Homo-oligomer: A and B are copies of this chain.
């Protein structure tokens, strides 16, 4: 069985981490392509200043996406610190997860360009929801299939809770986009929900 060419019960988790780290580093850096230098035919200082001001939603999308991707990268690393073995199911869960991670630059550009509308914000939150829920499913799979450290099993309940926090926030953010008066202030404010992460983290840790 060990010699089976297609047997992958012995996947080295380090190898998955390498792919994950690569995709994250690139997705993070591609976010900047969502802030496009305006093409101005007869520029002046005032016009260039205004162009930067007009890019503020793009900068906002850049910063929040960078922050959220970093949070997910951090959680993934915490998980893999405890994962001693990987199997086929985990590999494909992680690859499906990367599909949505690598999609974030698109979602970020979408809210950068049309952040005042509801559709792009819902799309952005759904993208983050998919990332969060797949990370949760990966951790649950790792616990259930005995792929983790013993130390992690003792603490599995808070860890699962922590992993549900992020997809829950995405659902709340989607709900927020339906608040009637939000339209006037701009749907982009729905992302403010994610700034709860540092505070919630401390609450779960204690």
- Interface size counted on chain A using CB atoms at 8 A: 70
Main SS at interface, chain A: helix
Look across to chain B and name the residue whose beta carbon is closest to the beta carbon of A21.
Answer: B18
| Interface assignment of A182: CB less than 8 Å from any CB of chain B | no
A205 partner, pick from B6, B29, B99, beta carbons under 8 A: B6
Structural contact, B5 and A48, CB atoms closer than 8 A: no
Binds B, one of A130-138, A152-160, A167-175: A152-160
Structural contact, B15 and A45, CB atoms closer than 8 A: no
A120 partner, pick from B39, B48, B98, beta carbons under 8 A: B48
Structural contact, A78 and B19, CB atoms closer than 8 A: no
| Interface assignment of A195: CB less than 8 Å from any CB of chain B | no
Q: How far is the CA of A130 from the CA of B128 in the complex (A)?
A: 28
CB distance from A60 to the nearest CB of B (A): 12
Structural contact, B155 and A49, CB atoms closer than 8 A: no
26 contacts between A and B (CB under 8 A): A3-B151, A5-B152, A5-B162, A6-B159, A8-B78, A19-B24, A19-B25, A22-B24, A22-B29, A23-B25, A25-B26, A26-B26, A30-B32, A31-B102, A32-B102, A33-B33, A35-B103, A35-B106, A39-B113, A43-B114, A43-B117, A48-B119, A49-B119, A52-B123, A62-B103, A66-B99
| Chain A interface (Cβ < 8 Å from any Cβ of B) | 2-8, 15, 18-19, 21-33, 35, 37, 39-40, 43-45, 48-49, 52, 62-63, 66-67, 70, 73-74, 77-78, 82, 91, 95, 98-99, 102-103, 105-106, 109-110, 113-114, 117-120, 123, 151-152, 154-155, 158-159, 162, 201, 204-205
